[in-house]
Amino acid sequence: MSRFKLPHRAVTFLAATAMVATTAGIAFASTAPASEPDRTARASAPSGTVTSSLKGWGRMDYPDAGQDIQVTVDAHATFKGVGWSKPDKAWGTFRIYHRMPATNGEPEMVNWGDFKVDCLTSGGPTATVTGRIMRTGGNTGAWDGYLKRHIRMGISFYVGEGKDSGPSRIGLSGGTEEGEPLLSKCMAPAADYKVIKGGYDLTDKAQAG
């Protein structure tokens, strides 16, 4: 997570979201009893295997005008029951695509990365996905360093449904710098940026067939 070459404001944004993701990890870990670290405090929740899935594509409302960030995801997970916060198994892929327009004589810059899902969690209209980078592309090679270090990124989703739910939203963790620890599994910042095109289909912990 060479480095991801972004304008100063974008670097600040990704650094800030990575900090939020670390803070969120502390809060997340505190919800589970010490004897069952992957289970939430809802000890009375029904048992039995359940599954979650998240699929779709969306364009994010990015604060720097002209920049284009898109997130494509196809993630799945199974849980020991609805009271379990972390999945028993997670799989799938997601892609983060970032295009910066040509400015001041500089050519258009494009970077993208494909990630192998290692966690999907969900609750109601919200979900968090993390994964390790496995392939990069674009015209700058800015994410090659991420690939070499096999970094992990996290994405949070709010999937709005109905006229009173508000727009769907995405939050991105960004990539950690060289020498910093990897982002933890299942961690991502708040989903604070609107989805301005596209959308996602979220199935939250449905009973396995």
Tokens representing residue 143 in the block: 């994410």
Residues 67, 49: Cα–Cα separation, whole Å: 41
* Contact in structure between 155 and 131 (CB atoms under 8 Å): no
Q: Is 203 helix (H, G, I), strand (E, B) or coil?
A: strand
Q: What is the pLDDT of residue 209?
A: 59
Concatenated DSSP letters of 47-58: EEEEEEEEEEEE
Tokens representing 181 are 């620890």
Predicted TM-score (pTM) of this structure: 0.77
Question: Per residue of the chain (209 residues), what is the pLDDT tens digit?
Answer: 333 333 433 433 343 334 333 333 333 333 344 556 566 544 444 568 999 999 999 999 988 878 999 999 999 999 998 888 899 999 999 999 999 988 887 889 999 999 999 999 999 999 999 999 999 998 888 889 999 999 999 999 999 886 677 899 999 998 888 899 999 999 999 999 999 999 999 999 998 65
What are the sequence ranges of the domains in the chain? 8-32+48-207
